[in-house]
Structure 1
Amino acid sequence: MSSRRNFLQKISFSAAALPFMSLKDTAPAAVEKNYDGPVLRVAIMGLGSYGTRVAEAMQQCTKAKLVGVISGTLSKIAAWQARYNIPAKNCYNYENFDAVKDNPDIDAIYVITPNALHKEQVIRVAKAGKHAICEKPMAVNAADAQQMVDACKKANVKLLIGYRMHFEPKTLEVIRMRKAGEFGAIRFFQGLSGFVIGDPSQWRMNKALSGGGAMMDIGIYSINGARYMTGEDPVWVTAQETKTNPAKFKDGLDETIQFQMGFPSGAVASCLSTYNMNFLDKFYLNGEKGFAEMQPSTGYGPIEGKTHKGPLTQPHITHQTLQMDGMAALILENKQPVVPVDGEEGVKDMKIIDAIFEAIKTGNKVSLSWQK
């Protein structure tokens, strides 16, 4: 399974049908069918293809409910109102959504817009007194990401990042096995993340909006995956960039990056991020006593994998359904996930991306420090 962009490239629905495609065949009901507790009321900002995917998945949630929308396109707002029964008072555009501070019927806003817009929009959400959920990467660099964290702390609201894999059952089983020592000391991680990007005019190929190329889109999966699979944060990175089509991948838009990371334990990682190769969605974890292999490892699912003990057989539930219910539990009940999804987690990934770009620019090994 490829990334969400690759998936959307290949489906054959028309542009008109895409915003409301049915996901019922891949969205079984969440586990807690008889849940009778508080519900997180969410507005989605950015009504594109991934916003649609989240909205459809939320129809199966028990702890989170879609109640509002924020968009610059009036026709999308009208269509979402009709489909999801959203009242007019919960509909905003990008200019007036600060008024949500006076709307007690919205608890949180999920920002699903181009990367470069996240910082300003999340800070505005925080100033409006609403919890912020931000799609990854959370910003275009670590400095901007830290400003987002600081703004949410100042406003006393939560900032969560859209790490759906942190709630995925097979992924969590591998993490459980690693924590239980079933792999022994971790020695090596490999992460392969890539697909051939399509339309060159899309915002992801505009550095001003994306902040970069493949690394800011698909490469972050291997970065974050290396961290939750090994259970460590890297202390150094090295990286090399390959560009075969400079006309398409202009300055600041990376096509293919190979990068390596070293961890405090001595474990190492070798990863690939690319917009020029399909069928790359694989994690491999090697320990002194065993291994885990996942392919696909981060696609929409079902995730497939095995360890030295046999196949991973945990059930598939739509990732965004699990994510939104898990985030609702975190916000409403302070129930912490196995792997953090807070803003600080997102800042770490951005620091690693910054270091990778620095390593490419200088040709040097770049050290990372996690002291506050």
Structure 2
Amino acid sequence: MSSRRDFLTKLSAPFLAMPMLSELTPKMSDIPARELQPLSEFSTGKMSDTYLRVAIMGLGSYASRVAEAMQSCKKAKITGLISGTPSKLKTWQAKYNVPDRNCYNYENFDAIKNNPDIDAVYIITPNALHHPQTLRVAAAGKHVICEKPMAINAKEALEMVDACKKAGVKLLVGYRMHFEANTLDIIRMRKEGAFGKPLFFQGLSGFIIGNPNQWRMNPALSGGGAMMDIGIYSVNGARYMLGEEPLWVTAQETKTDPQKFKPGIDETIQFQFGFPSGAVASCLSTYAMNYLDRFFLNGDKGFAEMMPSTGYGPIKGRTHRGELSHPHITHQTTQMDEMAGIILEGRKPVVPVDGEEGLKDMVLIDAIYEAVKTGRKINLTLPRILPV
């Protein structure tokens, strides 16, 4: 991890305090009272006769999952493709009926600027490519949907936020769980005081990684190991389950297989957050253990548990009041329909999915790596998350 951490320390140290983030966080008075409701409840208005025209960038396995899910979308449609592999473009063209004029490679996709068939680009490429590709999409005047993590450090994330703001386009991050019904039900219950004062959150995120030659095991492309891939779920989940921003972080790394997990690729990291209310979080991120997909929220009047908590579903949840019974809907279908509402109507989700949200997670991940490297508690100056 030393090479990755030394590199990020130089780039990210100024962001551990990040006082400028307060400027990125809207005041409560600036937020419309109306929260995001399922698009199925809207039968009239602007969204009834239009849809978000999306180009998919990076035609890998997760992009395939998104594309299949989008076939059931009511408000989002695949109208463009961007790939460095000509054979994939031909296969996807035929499958999703995308014309030649809407297909691009990584060298020429800036030409989307002049293509009225594309409103937004969903970037689903290796982590290290998100930053340069987002800057190019923004410069082309198209909205950006970027898969998480949005960047490999906070410095890049902030540049992405700034670029999209200057270009007048939206930057959204692929936080599909922010639209998942069981997750939103627990957030609603927490807001209503069903759990009393939240005291503790536990997030377990992990699986045994497969092919050691995949891009996720290459620090130049991934920016890290398990933390950047699966650990971000617990980082983000701690924030939306407790409804606060952490004030400090501590972290410890365990590496049992240094041959498989080369320098710059973390295998297992345990990390802890402390929050303004006094609540604490204890989380685990790993590439070395299966069956780790659990969130647990404890309050002085009740609890909530989700297991699985962030997988592709169905998500299972229960509280001290009993089981949650929301039917499973493919997460990416809901995500893309709801993001269409955000981009085309300016609607506000219950839990943010914008670039500022992604930036906060990157600040925290940088701080986790710093805590591992130094063995110190890292104090954070972050804006408190808006109540959700």
TM-score > 0.5 by shorter chain? yes
- What is the TM-score when the length of structure 2 is the normalising length? 0.87
What do residues 23-65 of structure 1 show as CA deviations (whole Å, max 9, x unaligned)? xxxxxxx846967232000000000000000000000000111
Aligned residue identity for 2:79: V
Please name the residue that 1:173 is paired with: 185
Corresponding residue for 2:65? 53
Please, which of 314, 321, 332 is the counterpart of residue 333 of structure 2?
321
- Give, in whole Å, the separation in 2 of the partners of 1:73 and 1:33: 39
Matched with 1:68 is 80
The 3-state SS of whatever aligns with 1:359 is helix
> Residue 163 of structure 2 corresponds to which residue in structure 1?
151
Structure 1 residues 22-61: aligned runs within 5 Å: 31=40, 36-61=48-73
8 A Cα contact 2:79 2:102, kept in partner: yes
* Mapped partners of 2:325, 2:109: distance in 1: 43
Task: State the aligned residue count.
Answer: 344
How far has the Cα of 1:315 moved from its partner? 1.4
Task: Confirm or deny that 1:197 pairs with 2:209.
Answer: yes
Q: Deviations over 1:96-118 (max 9, x none)?
A: 00000000110000000000000
1:243 equivalent among 252, 255, 265: 255
1:351 corresponding residue in structure 2: 363
What's the counterpart of residue 188 of structure 1?
200
1:46 & 1:371 partners in 2: Cα distance? 33
1:292 paired residue number: 304
The DSSP-based 3-state class of the residue aligned with 1:113 is coil
Task: State whether residues 162 and 341 of structure 1, in contact with CA within 8 Å, keep that contact through their aligned partners in structure 2.
Answer: yes
1:299 maps to amino acid: G
* AA matched with 2:112: V
Aligned to 1:12: none
CA–CA distance in structure 1, aligned partners of residues 383 and 242 of structure 2: 19
Is 1:79 the counterpart of 2:91? The answer is yes
Distance in 2, Cα, partners of 1:185 & 1:371? 20
Q: Are 1:214 and 2:226 counterparts? A: yes
Aligned partners of 1:37 and 1:63 also within 8 Å: no
Q: Provide the secondary structure at the position in 2 that maps to 1:218.
A: helix
User: What is the Cα deviation at residue 368 of structure 1?
Assistant: 0.8
Corresponding residue of 2:320: 308
Shift of 1:308: 0.5
What residue identity is the alignment partner of 1:223? V
Q: Are 1:205 and 1:213, in contact at CA under 8 Å, matched by a contact in 2?
A: yes
Q: Which residue of 1 aligns with 2:350?
A: 338
Alignment of 1:252 with 2:267, yes or no, is: no
SS of the counterpart of 1:315?
A: coil
For residues 254-311 of structure 1, the C-alpha deviation after alignment (integer angstroms, 9 at most, x for no partner) is 0000000001100000000000000000000001110000000000000001000000
Instruction: Determine which of 350, 359, 368 is the counterpart of 2:380.
Output: 368
Partner of 2:49, secondary structure, is coil
Query: CA distance change for structure 1 residues 341 and 149 in 2, over 3 Å: closer, same or farther?
Result: same
Q: Is the 8 A contact 1:239 1:257 kept in 2?
A: yes
TM-score normalised by structure 1 residue count: 0.91
Deviation, 1:252, is 1.1
- The question of whether the paired residues in 1 share the 8 Å contact of 2:54 and 2:76 is answered with yes
AA matched with 1:154: K
User: Deviation digits for residues 91-136 of structure 1, max 9, x if unmatched?
Assistant: 0000000000000110000000000000000000000000000000
Q: Contact 2:245–2:383 at 8 Å: present in 1 too?
A: no
Letter paired with 1:303? I
Task: Compute the displacement of 1:370 (Å).
Answer: 1.6
CA RMSD between the two structures:
1.4
Deviation of the 1:314 alpha carbon = 1.1
Question: What do residues 171-216 of structure 1 show as CA deviations (whole Å, max 9, x unaligned)?
Answer: 0000000011111110000000000001000000000000000000
Query: Quick one: distance in 2 between partners of 1:44 and 1:73?
Result: 13
Amino acid at match of 2:220: A
* d(CA) in 2 for partners of 1:314, 1:32: 17
Contact 1:195–1:276 under 8 Å retained in 2: yes
C-alpha contact (below 8 Å) 2:246/2:382 kept by paired residues: no
Give the secondary-structure state (helix, strand or coil) at the position aligned to 1:217: helix
8 A contact 1:283–1:295 mirrored in 2: yes
Residue 276 of structure 2 aligns with an amino acid whose one-letter code is P
Q: 1:42 touches 1:67 (CA, 8 Å); kept in 2? A: yes
